Structure 1
Amino acid sequence: MRKNLEDFKRLGGGSAETTEAVVDGSSDAGPSTLSLGESARDPAAPLQSGRISCLPPIYRGRCRGVDKFEKIAKLDEGTYGVVYKARERDTGDIVALKQIKMNHAGSEGFPPTALRELNILLSLKHPHVINTREMVVGDTLDKIFMVMDFMEHDVKQLMAAMRSPFTEAEVKRLMLDLTSALAYCHDRWVFHRDLKTSNLLMNNRGEVAICDFGLARYYHEPLKTYSPTVVTLWYRAPEVLLADGGRGEKTTYGPAVDVWSLGCIFAELVLRAPLLNGQGEIDQVKRIFELLGTPDEETWPGCTALHFLRKYPQRRQPFNRLRDKFKRATFTSATALSEAGLDLMLKMLTLDPNQRLSASEALKHPYFREEPPPKPHHLMPTFPSTHRSDARR
């Protein structure tokens, strides 16, 4: 109990405006101390610790009780939390409640992954980053919930349930919104490190949002070393795969890993199937090279020194075959992609991270300005909820 109490001392108030926390630093965590709501670019941002302001009612804290919400259904469960669909009793608002699993608590009594996610999410306010409204607590200090906006779908399940693919204008809308959100995060020195279609949510107003920031970190320049066990394999950037080579050692990488993942998502939105679905790290690298060509010192300076390529020499494949995956724009092709769209995808899937397009640069790409324009949100299609629990109801 004392450890939990000390964690709450660091957490501060319950809402995005009042919640503050101190996060013990590591090479993955970024700064040695971070406060919830603190700007990564502003080291002078106020850092207040020692306030006991996020406690259950018996401690006269600021966090509301979870009894203010009525659970409707369990939506999902992962390693670090359980997500429920819930209704706020006073307003009738439908929200998502994410209960933090305390069995992964660190030496300080609070799960470090959850603390980092809270720290980052409460500092980000963008229409296409999942909105975390506040924290609420149960009758004991091990019952802690994040209150988030409810989104009817995750994009992976939605695409599996759709009878027809997204149109070119709809793909363009989704990509524009996601690229905007990613540029916003990177501008604030946050990289996600686990972008994939199941971590993208969509509501019935045609709005998409990036969620699950459990692996997100603040980064710095020059870039530091981070764990290579990030990003689901099919969306993992080559600089992470090749530098580690299965050793599990920390690797230097930065926000370009998110752009690679977004390029894979771009392809998946068009194809309705993963672009690079390897069966292991070696197979994943093989598929990347078969599709995009084998790098050399001319196309990726320094690549021959990477551990994977020294351990597993690759057959030379000099051709980029990405176009073969996508037919040129026609009125009948479900997998059509314009030349501008292909150019954007190629620049997002550039093997050398130093030459890969940044998210901010991608926003300016001609693809988003050519015909057809991105479909307005109010004209985006709507679908029955794809959450498993809702589908059963």
Structure 2
Amino acid sequence: MRGRLGDAVTDGKNVSRNVSSTQCTSDRLSVVAMWDETSKNRAKTRYEKIKHLGEGQFANVYKAKDTETGEFVAIKKIKLGSRHEVMDGVNRTAVREIKLLQELHHDNIIGLLDVIGHKTNIQLVFDFMETDLEHVVKDNSIILMPEHIKNITLQTLLGLEYLHLHWILHRDLKPNNLLMNCHGRIKIADFGLARFFGSPNRYYTHQVVTRWYRAPELIYAARSYGTGVDMWAIGCIIAELLLRVPIFPGESDLDQLVKIYHVLGSPTEQDWPNMKEFTDYVEMKPSIGIPLKNVFTAATDDLIELIYQCLRFDPVKRWTATEALKCSYFRMMPHACDDSQLPLPSSAQNALAPGRKRRRGREDATPPPMRKKLVFE
């Protein structure tokens, strides 16, 4: 593997890795230094922009064609301030994403194919992905069969295991950061909040992960945490694949806890021994919770066990990605389908050439199902 980040292998619970602030500063400067005027010409000659896909506060995304390979790519054009501002960290998100993705090479991690720098912008060239998991979940004409859910879960965990074994926390896992191409390949994307982990004296912000997928320790303002924050998000994503709606759609941090406790019950000292030590800990009204079998009425016992182990209150007790991949769920029938059998949403189907279109469910003639109502609403 090119550019290994470390030779150590960890279970994600007890780790130690030193990443100095000096090294981080050096990394930012090296990224700034690689920008040059000649790359501007490469952007114009090699990549033929086809379509504007979206716009954010600091970036525009385009679909383009690589004239050298003939492949479609996605170009993320990030607006920059002055060179001094970049070095001071105004564009730290872009720099972090570049430095991480240059080192990561896995089938289930988005590929950074090229970086084109200019004094006013950076253009990141990525694998082109037709859709994301959020569109799949929200498309009522798609029937997600057990073999589909198993495939999506498997691909996501394989990508996450790779990140964690390379000492990286994603910190923003959610359905629209799990991209899918027309061949059914799932890739983890958006590494703007990703961080190295493992240094015993390193502290992080708790303001990470979109609220609906945020682990309880982050809501309680934990400053030191590990792979458990990503595994909690995985549990929420699997639940959403089954329910077709978010399982914990909190409207505020406090409401998020209410939603979590309503389903999982209030944690006891035995469930989570040090929960009262967090800075923002608040005593909540006791709740007995709902048996997960009653929440996921169509799920098998081994899938419910996987969800439960991802949604343990104590992050130390949550399964790691490696432990999850070894669980009985992936050994039991039905097996995960082939990637090519995953259904694509209408928006992605319409964008494909006629000869490349695939079936969107088990049977095209099957009427669209109603979204499953949560039993605890």
Interval containing the TM-score (normalised by the shorter chain): 0.7 to 0.9
Alignment of 1:203-218 (within 5 A): 203-218=181-196
Given that residues 348 and 357 in structure 1 are in contact (C-alpha distance below 8 angstroms), is that contact kept between their aligned partners in structure 2? yes
The answer to whether the 8 Å contact 1:66/1:136 transfers is no
**Pick from 357, 371, 374: which aligns with 2:319?**
357
Partner of 1:9: none
1:287 counterpart = 2:267: no
CA distance in structure 2 between the aligned counterparts of 1:374 and 1:361, rounded to whole angstroms: 18
Find the counterpart in structure 2 of residue 7 from structure 1. none
**Superposition map of 1:155-304 within 5 A:** 155-222=133-200, 224-242=202-220, 244=221, 251-304=223-276
**Corresponding residue to 2:124 among 123, 128, 146:** 146
Summarize deviations over 1:93-150 as a string: whole Å, max 9, x none.
Answer: 110001112149445476111101111111111101101111124xx42232111100
The answer to whether the Cα contact below 8 Å between 2:59 and 2:79 also exists between their aligned partners in 1 is yes
Any stretches of 5+ residues in structure 1 without a counterpart?
1-15, 18-28, 39-46, 245-249, 328-335
Map of 1:85 onto structure 2: 63
Q: CA deviation at 1:337?
A: 0.7
Change (3 A) 1:221 1:318: farther
Matched with 2:308 is 346
In 2: Cα distance, 1:50 partner to 1:71 partner: 24
The alpha carbon displacement at 1:68 in A equals 1.6
Kept in 1, the 8 Å contact 2:19–2:199? The answer is: no
Please give the alpha-carbon distance, in whole angstroms, between the structure 1 residues aligned to 2:287 and 2:105: 44
TM-score (norm 2): 0.81
Q: Partners of 1:175 and 1:49 in 2: how far apart?
A: 36
**Residues 213 and 236 in structure 2, CA contact (< 8 A), matched pair in contact too:** yes
Cα gap change, 1:289 to 1:308, in 2 (>3 Å): farther
Residues 29 and 87 of structure 2 are in contact (CA less than 8 Å); yes or no, is this contact kept in structure 1?
no
SS in 2 for 1:252: coil
Change beyond 3 A, Cα 1:50–1:145: closer
Aligned to 1:367: 329
CA separation of 1:320/1:308 partners in 2, compared to 1, >3 Å: closer, same or farther? farther
CA contact (8 A) 1:80 1:114 kept: no
Between the aligned partners of 1:92 and 1:342, the Cα distance in structure 2 is 44
Higher relative contact order (CA 8 A, sep 6+): 2
Q: Which amino acid aligns with 1:128?
A: N
More moved, 65-74 vs 277-286: 65-74
Alignment CA distance shift 1:318-1:100 (3 Å) = same
1:151 CA drift (Å):
0.4
Instruction: Tell me which amino acid in the other structure corresponds to 1:344.
Output: L
Q: Provide closer, same or farther for how the CA distance between residues 49 and 165 of structure 1 changes in structure 2, counting only shifts above 3 A.
A: same
**Do the aligned residues in 1 keep the contact of 2:137 with 2:240 (CA within 8 Å)?**
no
Give the aligned residue type for 2:172.
D
TM-score normalised by L of structure 1: 0.78
The amino acid that maps onto 1:326 is F
Return the match for 2:284 from 314, 322, 325.
314
1:289 alignment partner, SS class? helix
Question: Which secondary structure state, in structure 1, belongs to the residue aligned with residue 21 of structure 2?
Answer: coil
Structure 2's unaligned 5+ residue stretches are 4-17, 353-377
Residue 52 of structure 2 is aligned to residue 74 of structure 1: yes
Q: Percent identical across equivalent pairs?
A: 34
Query: Deviation at 1:387?
Result: 10
Q: 1:326 to 1:50 in 2, by over 3 A?
A: closer
CA RMSD across the alignment? 2.9
- For residues 293-352 of structure 1, give each alpha carbon's deviation from its aligned partner in whole angstroms, at most 9, with x where no partner exists: 11121111111233343xx3212224453222111xxxxxxxx11000000000000010
Out of 67, 92, 98, the position equivalent to 1:112 is: 92
**Residues 201 and 54 of structure 1: CA distance in aligned 2, closer, same or farther (over 3 Å):** same
Are 1:99 and 1:144, in contact at CA under 8 Å, matched by a contact in 2? yes
* Alpha-carbon offset, residue 67 of structure 1: 3.4
* 1:16-64 CA distance string (max 9 Å, x none): 98xxxxxxxxxxx95324589x9xxxxxxxx99599554122xxx6993
